[in-house]
Amino acid sequence: MDRQDKSVLVTGGCGFIGRAVAKLLQRAGYGVVSLDASLSMSSSAKRREVECDLRDASRLQRVFEMEQIGGIIHLAAILPTAAAREPAQATQVNIEGSLHLLEMARRFRVRRVVCGSSLSVYGACPADEIVSETNRAAPEDLYAAGKLYVEHLGETYRRSYGLDFVTLRIGRVVGPGAHSTSSAWRSQIFELLATRAAAEIAVPYIESERLLLVHVDDVAKMLVSLLQAANPAHSVYNAACESVVVSALKREVERLNSNLSVTLGKDYASGNPRLLDSSRLRQEFHFQTLAIFEQLRKAAGK
């Protein structure tokens, strides 16, 4: 993709992952069109923010008419908690909105669409099962089912129209700046490491549970790598996630800052695998990640 002539459209550009992706693309010299239903008002010479709800097909078409879009990283979605609360809205945004986007990509001859999917498409798996891209998908909630449907939708556009479509299945994303209300701990374990006052971080899972975690900066690098690749060998990739035991996460955070207390809950990682084979991505793209505990130590300055 020519970095000078055409821009990358990032849907959900004001979100947690979207912001990291836009910054990485800008550093790599791409023009970025950051599209979101609500704006943060941070447009710049290389990054334009555009307010657009994916459900509005006419508005979306005008964006493509006004911008030279060479590639798309599609991250916009109603997330699991909100999707369960508002199933109609989630279906309209996550599925119908994705259809509108793929149709624009087809009509305007976008080079490649990279879709941010979820490891939740696999559903719950035995605790000792290492899940690869060849495992059968069995989503257990509306959000995961929508992600799988969009994967199939993209594959249909690839077969029927030649649209270059590739998917990254992402685990639980951690790092500073998420502004999440339903899972604030994912950012707090980084943001509170420097605190000098007593603080509590509530992680809702039992101590023996395993979570597939990935840092937001690594997710951004994976998505951009899939966008830049000349010819990806596969259409679906598991993100390079790390399986972390909750009790070990608690110990490491509390060790790094004695002012922090991590309280645990009674939840299980329902609807998600616990062990992952991400060798397809790691080997094809020579992708390496910094271990989550190393990320925490780095954030703590240790």
User: Looking at the predicted structure, is the pLDDT value of residue 195 above 60?
Assistant: yes
Q: Give percent of the chain with pLDDT exceeding 70.
A: 96
**CB-CB neighbours of 247 under 10 Å:** 15
Position 181 scores a pLDDT of 78
Q: Choose, from 122, 143, 157, 237, the residue flagged as catalytic.
A: 143
For the question of residue 143 being annotated catalytic, the response is yes
Position 39 scores a pLDDT of 73
The predicted-structure confidence for 287-300, as pLDDT tens digits, reads as follows 999 999 999 999 99
Residue located via tokens 């922090």:
260
Residue 257 half-sphere exposure toward CB, CA atoms < 13 A: 25
Q: For residue 41, what are the contacts with CB-CB under 8 A and spacing of at least 6? A: 49
The predicted-structure confidence for 74-90, as pLDDT tens digits, reads as follows 999 999 999 999 999 99
Average pLDDT taken over every residue of the chain? 95
Which runs of consecutive H residues, i.e. helices, occur in the chain?
A: 16-27, 57-66, 80-85, 87-91, 97-107, 142-161, 185-191, 216-228, 246-256, 279-285, 292-299
Position 79 scores a pLDDT of 92
Position 38 scores a pLDDT of 84
User: Looking at the predicted structure, is the pLDDT value of residue 42 above 80?
Assistant: no
Going by pLDDT thresholds of 50, 70 and 90, the confidence category of residue 3 is low
Closest by CA to 281, choosing from 127, 197, 167, is: 167
Q: Please state the rounded mean pLDDT for residues 34-47.
A: 73
The predicted-structure confidence for 100-147, as pLDDT tens digits, reads as follows 999 999 999 999 999 999 999 999 999 999 999 999 999 999 999 999
Question: Which domains are delineated in the chain?
Answer: 7-172+215-238 (3.40.50.720), 173-212+241-271+286-299 (3.90.25)
Q: Please state the rounded mean pLDDT for residues 235-264.
A: 98
DSSP letter for each residue of 106-156: HHTT-SEEEEEEEGGGG----TTPEE-TTSPP---SHHHHHHHHHHHHHHH
User: Looking at the predicted structure, is the pLDDT value of residue 40 above 80?
Assistant: no
The predicted-structure confidence for 140-193, as pLDDT tens digits, reads as follows 999 999 999 999 999 999 999 999 999 999 999 999 999 887 899 999 999 999
The answer to whether the CB of 55 falls within 8 A of the CB of 92 is yes
This prediction has a pTM of 0.95
Going by pLDDT thresholds of 50, 70 and 90, the confidence category of residue 47 is confident
Position 45 scores a pLDDT of 54
Q: Give percent of the chain with pLDDT exceeding 90.
A: 92
The answer to whether the CB of 276 falls within 8 A of the CB of 238 is yes
